[in-house]
Structure 1
Amino acid sequence: MEHFEFMETTISKVHQAYLEGSLTAVELIKFYLHRIEAYDKKGPAINSIICVNPNILEEAAAADAYLKEHHALQGPLHGIPVMLKDNFNTSDMPTTAGSIALKGWVPPENAFVVEKLKQAGALILAKTNLHEFAIWGETISSILGQTVNPYDLTRTPGGSSGGTGASIAANIGIIGMGTDTINSVRSPASANSLVGIRPTIGLVSRAGIIPYSLTQDTAGPICRTVEDAVRTLDVIVGYDEKDAETAWSVGQKRDSYIDHLQKDGMEGKRIGILKSLFGKEKYNASTNQVIETALQVFRDHGATLVEVENQIDQSYLNEEVSVHLDDFCHDLNSYLETLPPRWPVHSMKDILDKGLFHPFSEGNMRDAMTRQVGSPRYLEKMYNKIAVRREVMKIMADLHLDAMVYPHQQQLVCKIGSNQLQRNGVLCSSTGFPSICVPAGFAPSPEAPIGVPVGMEIIGRPWSEPVLIEIAYSFEQHSHFRKMPVSTPALED
């Protein structure tokens, strides 16, 4: 029986091995459990995992038994291990959002997305660390502490879904699930040489996800390949009566997203280079160089690149358009109010009064408590949001663009103890438009043996996921920029 190559494996390779009888789900799970033991708390101590599913081996055995009995896979994600950000409700494991205020909280039912994954046959391997309550980008929490970047152990893994990103990059699990309110799927994708998809607002239900800003929250996959991310997206989309925003998605998905995995998908596409989202300072040079090199892949494979000179300003979007902090207290309280009467907190004020937070989070939480949904300032930002949406659509219409590209982060992902700066993900989160972040290469840094990953975002019009997938998949197939981190190599059998 041919040896199965576990490292960098994919959904399709695992399924082929399952059907051939050369791999079982139990063997696959044991492989990842071995890596968790070796690398998450020991070795490089990635510190990405809050909780391992205590029933995972039994669930894997059940998947194997189904295949043995039926000689078929039980759904499109049969036996595929998922690393799930710990703000998705799970009825069989605690859901903490990274906060000691929720330590031990087991929700009564799964999030809509979790239910969809399970119905497709996926196995929830573990819950991963996040920046506490998903409110920022360094992935530090009161429940677990700091997750580190496997490519450079002195840097953060991005965030807030950094535990998911670090574990998937380190070949722990196959599917990663994150949430994205400002940058939080694409930031860890960029920082860990991964693919991250932020779908159009309304395509994926947020029901059962601890909210940050229901104006901007969504969920999406973080995977090592475009194909795996797309196979996951195909499963998790759909109307959910518990999230009214998903009503907008009805009728938008006309076929399987998998049909758009086309190697020549960038051919004939017009792609804008959004120059205003490239950094202008000396410390931006290494990121810009990586992106400039990556852009040549488009030129070499049939795409037309168009420079976009419109001044879309990242800091303006953060300060005058995004309502993440404005919604935060109101929307988190809506979740905390549903906790049982015996629970010690039912509001953000309770969390602060009882000191149940990481010091890194306190400033944002206190700021959020001074803001009010529906205030004149809030309405001003919502008005600005409409204007930016219109401006982006007009740029694409005037220049006949299929998509636009730019670096996800204008400078390298930050060092531990620092704050993320100059992240461009706010363009999509503040407009609700979709984007896919793909590996664009590596920038040199003294503490990074193969360099620090740099990600490129590809943004499109609302509901243009098929077009973005065609571009992203074609780019990946012609570039193959992803590399494994050297800190988490293959283990001896």
Structure 2
Amino acid sequence: MAIERPIEELTVAQAHAAFLSGEFTSEDLVKAYLDRIERIDRSGPELNSLISVSQTAVDEARRLDKELAETGRLTGPLHGVPVVVKDQIETAGLPTTFGSIASGDYQPEQDATAIAKLRDAGAIILGKTTLPDFATSWFSTSSRSGVTKNPYDLSRDPGGSSSGTAAAVAANLSLVGIGEDTGGSIRLPASFCGLVGLRVTPGLISRAGMSSLVKPQDTAGPMTRTVEDAARILDVMVGFDEADDYTAAAVIAGQGGPYADALHDATLTGKRFGVLRQAFGDNSDPDGAAVNSTIEHALASLGAAGAELVDITIDNLEDQVGFTSLYTTRSQSDMNDFVSARPSVGIPSMRHLIETKQYHEKLDLLEAIVAGPEQPTDDSHYVERLLAQTAFQRQVIGIMAKNKLDAIAFPDAKLPAPTREDIFADRWTCLTYPTNTVIASQLLFPAITIPAGQTTEGLPVGLEFMAVPYGERELLALAAASEAALQGRTAPEV
């Protein structure tokens, strides 16, 4: 049957309540999203957020509806929840392209661990979303799928590299989505598209079956319209996996109860945020001033809701971020290891893509990666970079301890979403765009972005909170309380 109420801004809890009451079924919901994909992604505004759409999603939904009718119970915490997944993460039954024209018709034989966990929880993989080639850009430029449009302004980019997931979830083409974050590839597009985007401490979520960019920094994670839905997704995805030894982090994090439980009675009263004004944009630039104004208004609202705001400074921040970056030191090795383990992908190396010109022309980061060393140890500064990273971590944790901070707050980027014209005219490239998301990534800290509001032009602005490693429960509680105070998300009109 057709769903009689609008499905825009639907949450997991609301969908489950509808399934249990008989208001609508999972099959109804899947069909409603498939219809929106056809009307909004494939035609109409043509967002171009999905590379492929599942041909089995309706059948999977029918099976789950049948089980619910027989037992009266949901089969798992994500029963019947449609999920779109960044096409960097392997999925059985659907092609996985990595955003590359060179990947051919590659279809994995098994799901990545994170996808298997979602399916076991009852989720339905609705489709795979666009990304730049092997996630090597802050923008959506892909040799496989071209560009994806921002649903808030079709002339602008949705951000990268989880471009399609951001655009699809923002435009209500799916209930929730999964992205991947190395230097900010969940948080930057989430901020450009008015979403919640969560980067966890690397290793809480298995990366087995997910292409690497900088292996110690990589993590999958939720991209949702609410903090609660992000916590629900996280509860399903975390855990030790022997196929990824970095998930020792999940053991260290311990069993502190469901992350969603941390949201109960969340409050800002007495919480202390360190405001990192070094990460704010230039007020003499109209675009920077627009972001700053939105963030300042949001911070004032958090203060009015009980939060304490403390200005902080990180010494030599830009220099430390620059020196600890491992993209041109380690990425080529990690990326080559991934594709060489999958001969059926047909890509022997990243250098092969450059030499055969099988990549999007605007991927300056991919070019820089291949121009760098093939092995990390070929960089004479590699050990110094790693030592500098741990010193960077100690410095920031010390600042948080000294100031008794619960989190550090700053805008995800110094500017709003760029126009495609600016990207193709090289006003901005991946290596020059002023994103702040790399701060948490290179510290190996967890971070979350929530909608702070919109500029006067109607462009979303994300407010990022960064916490110490394994601080996801406290971070989610702060985000939930801040979300309630700000009410910063407005659905796009597409």
TM-score range, shorter chain: over 0.9
> How many Å separate the matches in 2 of 1:312 and 1:483?
36
Q: 1:424 matched to which residue of 2?
A: 436
> How many Å separate the matches in 2 of 1:201 and 1:477?
27
> For 1:405-455, what per-residue CA distance to the aligned partner results, in whole angstroms no more than 9, with x for missing partners?
00000111211142352110011110110011000011123xxxxx11000
> How many Å separate the matches in 1 of 2:485 and 2:125?
32
> How many Å separate the matches in 2 of 1:484 and 1:343?
38
> For 1:42-65, what per-residue CA distance to the aligned partner results, in whole angstroms no more than 9, with x for missing partners?
211111000001111111111111
Check whether the contact 1:317–1:427 (CA below 8 A) recurs between aligned residues.
no
CA gap 1:194/1:139 in 2 versus in 1, 3 angstroms: same
Q: For 1:326-405, what aligned pairs fall within 5 Å after superposition?
A: 326-340=329-343, 344-361=346-363, 364-371=366-373, 372-374=375-377, 375-405=379-409
Q: 1:456 matched to which residue of 2?
A: 463
> How many Å separate the matches in 1 of 2:321 and 2:307?
31
Q: 2:307 matched to which residue of 1?
A: 303
- 4+ runs deviating over 6 angstroms: none
> How many Å separate the matches in 2 of 1:273 and 1:231?
28
Q: 1:479 matched to which residue of 2?
A: 486
Q: Secondary structure at the match of 2:240?
A: coil
Check whether the contact 2:89–2:112 (CA below 8 A) recurs between aligned residues.
yes
Aligned partner letter, 2:297? T
Q: Which moved more, 1:454-463 or 1:263-272?
A: 263-272
> How many Å separate the matches in 1 of 2:69 and 2:34?
23
Aligned partner letter, 1:290? T
Q: Secondary structure at the match of 1:145?
A: coil
> For 1:304-342, what per-residue CA distance to the aligned partner results, in whole angstroms no more than 9, with x for missing partners?
1111133453x43442112123222111111111223x6
Check whether the contact 1:211–1:335 (CA below 8 A) recurs between aligned residues.
yes
Q: Does 1:28 align with 2:29?
A: yes
Q: 1:41 matched to which residue of 2?
A: 42
> How many Å separate the matches in 2 of 1:249 and 1:386?
20
Q: 1:254 matched to which residue of 2?
A: 256
> For 1:206-247, what per-residue CA distance to the aligned partner results, in whole angstroms no more than 9, with x for missing partners?
110011110211111000000101100111001111111111
CA gap 1:317/1:32 in 2 versus in 1, 3 angstroms: farther
Q: 1:136 matched to which residue of 2?
A: 137
Q: 2:281 matched to which residue of 1?
A: 279
> How many Å separate the matches in 1 of 2:325 and 2:265?
35
Q: Does 1:323 align with 2:319?
A: no
Q: Secondary structure at the match of 1:125?
A: strand
> How many Å separate the matches in 1 of 2:266 and 2:237?
26
Q: 2:64 matched to which residue of 1?
A: 63
CA gap 1:362/1:270 in 2 versus in 1, 3 angstroms: closer
Q: Which moved more, 1:232-241 or 1:322-331?
A: 322-331
Q: For 1:409-420, what aligned pairs fall within 5 Å after superposition?
A: 409-417=413-421, 418=423, 419=428
CA gap 1:304/1:312 in 2 versus in 1, 3 angstroms: farther
Structure 1 alignment gaps of length 5 or more: 446-450, 489-493
Q: 1:19 matched to which residue of 2?
A: 20
> How many Å separate the matches in 1 of 2:414 and 2:330?
26
Q: Which moved more, 1:115-124 or 1:64-73?
A: 64-73
Aligned partner letter, 1:457? E
> How many Å separate the matches in 1 of 2:486 and 2:216?
35
Check whether the contact 1:29–1:81 (CA below 8 A) recurs between aligned residues.
yes
Q: For 1:146-157, what aligned pairs fall within 5 Å after superposition?
A: 146-157=147-158
Q: 2:473 matched to which residue of 1?
A: 466
- Measure how far apart 1:386 and its partner are: 1.0
> How many Å separate the matches in 2 of 1:381 and 1:356?
31
Give the TM-score normalised by structure 2. Answer: 0.94
Q: 1:292 matched to which residue of 2?
A: 296
CA gap 1:187/1:395 in 2 versus in 1, 3 angstroms: same
Q: Which moved more, 1:285-294 or 1:2-11?
A: 2-11
Q: For 1:261-272, what aligned pairs fall within 5 Å after superposition?
A: 261-272=263-274
The match for 2:412 among 405, 408, 411 is: 408
CA gap 1:381/1:87 in 2 versus in 1, 3 angstroms: same
> How many Å separate the matches in 1 of 2:73 and 2:133?
41
Check whether the contact 1:169–1:194 (CA below 8 A) recurs between aligned residues.
yes
Q: What fraction of aligned residue pairs are identical, expressed as a percent? A: 39
Check whether the contact 1:263–1:473 (CA below 8 A) recurs between aligned residues.
no
CA gap 1:81/1:224 in 2 versus in 1, 3 angstroms: same
